[in-house]
């Protein structure tokens, strides 16, 4: 052990990385060059807070002594460790970002409003909610009206961003959600909700779990009492969503409301979410999405009633929902 005589965390680390294999291992876990570890040890540079957190995680056998030595050099490290979004007063969305969103919204053509504005906000939310890249996925689940247009039976997640292990634009995560999901739950209740441990047996609502999800929070996207969908954030960490972070999720949901047109908000009385099949059941239906959009546009062209891509996409999603609900009925009837 190296901790008996170490007077600083740098000295302790020097002893540990005198083993070249340990030096390589730690550098790998922290995703830094091994030379960086040497520079820290020699006092030539200092790690960022997230590097120190990762160092603690990489050296569990030294955790207590390392933590105490780090605090000697970085007195605020304890607060950073427990941190949340409170550091540097960043528990709220910066005012300049509101200004940026409003300016962007004012300059975008209607046909281009939703995606770029959502993208801008999701990228900001991603960095704000996960500054140290511990891994979160964030997505917008929006209300999809039925083909008849008289009600909303499900939600569509077609915009998402993530930090590893999630993919950057979360394309494989595209899916239809219903009452069985956290996204659906907050749309139905009209209130934000967080789940500190998705695997806990006493969860109040059933949730479908992704491979890396350990905790999640969601907030409805509301304007004038009408609902457009929800913002859902998942984390690889248990209990990630402190009250500050949940508040931030709600604030970003409020901001994302600006990416929707008035007609995309629905009266809660017309939202009747149904339970949809699991993602693996949906996949074969979603896999043919592109070709179905093209076919829909071709048919519309033949009828001399051309459709925009956005409109055709919506029609195809609505048709897929009908098929999935039928699938669900057949499955239930067969049981």
Could you tell me which of 262, 187, 202, 269 has the C-alpha nearest to residue 232? 187
Q: Which span sits near other proteins by CB under 8 A: 70-78, 196-204, 261-269, 285-293?
A: 285-293
> Measured between alpha carbons, how far is 160 from 168 in angstroms, rounded to an integer?
8
- Where does residue 190 fall: left (phi above 0), alpha (psi -120 to 50 degrees), or beta otherwise? left
What does the block give as tokens for 150?
Answer: 């008289």
Least gap, CB of 46 to other proteins (angstroms) = 8
> Measured between alpha carbons, how far is 326 from 96 in angstroms, rounded to an integer?
47
Least gap, CB of 132 to other proteins (angstroms) = 8
Binding-site size for other proteins (CB under 8 A) equals 51
Least gap, CB of 259 to other proteins (angstroms) = 11
Q: Which is nearer to other proteins, 279 or 328 (CB)?
A: 279
User: Among residues 189, 308, 329, 331, which is the contact residue for other proteins, using CB under 8 A?
Assistant: 308
Q: Which span sits near other proteins by CB under 8 A: 4-12, 66-74, 96-104, 219-227?
A: 96-104
Residue 331 as a binder of other proteins (CB under 8 A): the answer is no
User: Among residues 20, 107, 305, 335, which is the contact residue for other proteins, using CB under 8 A?
Assistant: 107
Say if residue 248 is exposed, middle or buried (CB neighbours under 10 Å; 0-12, 13-18, 19+). Answer: buried
Residue 88 as a binder of other proteins (CB under 8 A): the answer is yes
Contact 260, 227 (CB under 8 A): no
Instruction: List the 152-162 sheet strands across, edge first.
Output: 175-177, 152-162, 136-145, 226-235, 215-223, 193-195
Q: Which is nearer to other proteins, 153 or 245 (CB)?
A: 245
User: Among residues 18, 68, 291, 329, which is the contact residue for other proteins, using CB under 8 A?
Assistant: 291
Least gap, CB of 87 to other proteins (angstroms) = 6
Residue 44 as a binder of other proteins (CB under 8 A): the answer is yes
Instruction: Characterize 120-148 residue by residue with b for buried, 16 or more Cβ atoms within 10 angstroms of its Cβ, and e for exposed.
Output: bbbebbbebbbbeebbbbbbbbbbbbbee
User: Among residues 23, 51, 180, 198, which is the contact residue for other proteins, using CB under 8 A?
Assistant: 51
- Where does residue 46 fall: left (phi above 0), alpha (psi -120 to 50 degrees), or beta otherwise? beta
Residue 45 as a binder of other proteins (CB under 8 A): the answer is yes
Say if residue 41 is exposed, middle or buried (CB neighbours under 10 Å; 0-12, 13-18, 19+). Answer: buried
User: Among residues 2, 65, 71, 90, which is the contact residue for other proteins, using CB under 8 A?
Assistant: 90
CA 264, 267, 273: angle at the middle one, nearest 5? 85
> Measured between alpha carbons, how far is 43 from 55 in angstroms, rounded to an integer?
16
Residue 112 as a binder of other proteins (CB under 8 A): the answer is yes
Residues that bind other proteins (CB under 8 A): 31-33, 35-36, 39, 44-51, 87-88, 90, 94, 96-97, 100-101, 103-104, 107-109, 111-112, 115-117, 119-120, 123-124, 127-128, 131-133, 168-169, 171, 290-291, 293-294, 297, 308-309
């Amino acid at each position: 052990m190296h901790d008996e005589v170490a007077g600083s965390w740098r000295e302790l680390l020097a002893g540990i990385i005198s083993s070249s294999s340990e030096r390589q291992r730690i550098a790998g876990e922290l995703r830094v060059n091994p030379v960086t570890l040497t520079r820290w040890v020699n006092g030539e540079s200092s790690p960022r807070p997230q590097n120190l957190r990762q160092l603690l995680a990489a050296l569990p056998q030294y955790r207590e002594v390392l933590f105490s030595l780090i605090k000697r050099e970085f007195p605020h490290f304890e607060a950073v460790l427990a941190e949340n979004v409170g550091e540097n007063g960043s528990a709220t969305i910066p005012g300049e970002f509101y200004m940026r969103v409003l300016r962007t919204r004012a300059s975008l053509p209607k046909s281009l409003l939703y995606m770029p504005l959502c993208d801008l906000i999701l990228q900001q939310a991603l960095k704000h909610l996960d500054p140290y890249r511990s891994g979160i996925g964030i997505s917008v689940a929006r209300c999809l009206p039925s083909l008849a247009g008289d009600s909303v039976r499900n939600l569509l997640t077609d915009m998402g961003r993530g930090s590893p292990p999630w993919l950057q634009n979360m394309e494989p995560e595209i899916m239809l959600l219903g009452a069985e999901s956290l996204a659906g739950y907050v749309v139905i209740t009209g209130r934000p909700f967080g789940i500190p441990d998705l695997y806990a047996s006493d969860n109040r609502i059933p949730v479908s779990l992704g491979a890396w999800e350990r905790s999640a929070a969601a907030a409805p996207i509301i304007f004038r009492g009408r609902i457009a969908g929800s913002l859902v954030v998942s984390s690889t960490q248990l209990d990630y969503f402190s009250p500050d972070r949940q508040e931030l999720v709600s604030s970003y949901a409020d901001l994302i409301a600006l990416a929707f047109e008035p007609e995309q908000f629905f009266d809660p009385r017309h939202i009747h979410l149904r339970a949809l099949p699991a993602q693996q059941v949906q996949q074969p239906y979603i896999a043919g999405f592109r070709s179905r959009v093209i076919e829909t546009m071709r048919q519309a062209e033949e009828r001399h009633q051309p459709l925009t891509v956005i409109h055709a996409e919506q029609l195809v999603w609505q048709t897929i929902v009908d098929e999935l609900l039928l699938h669900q009925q057949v499955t239930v009837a067969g049981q």
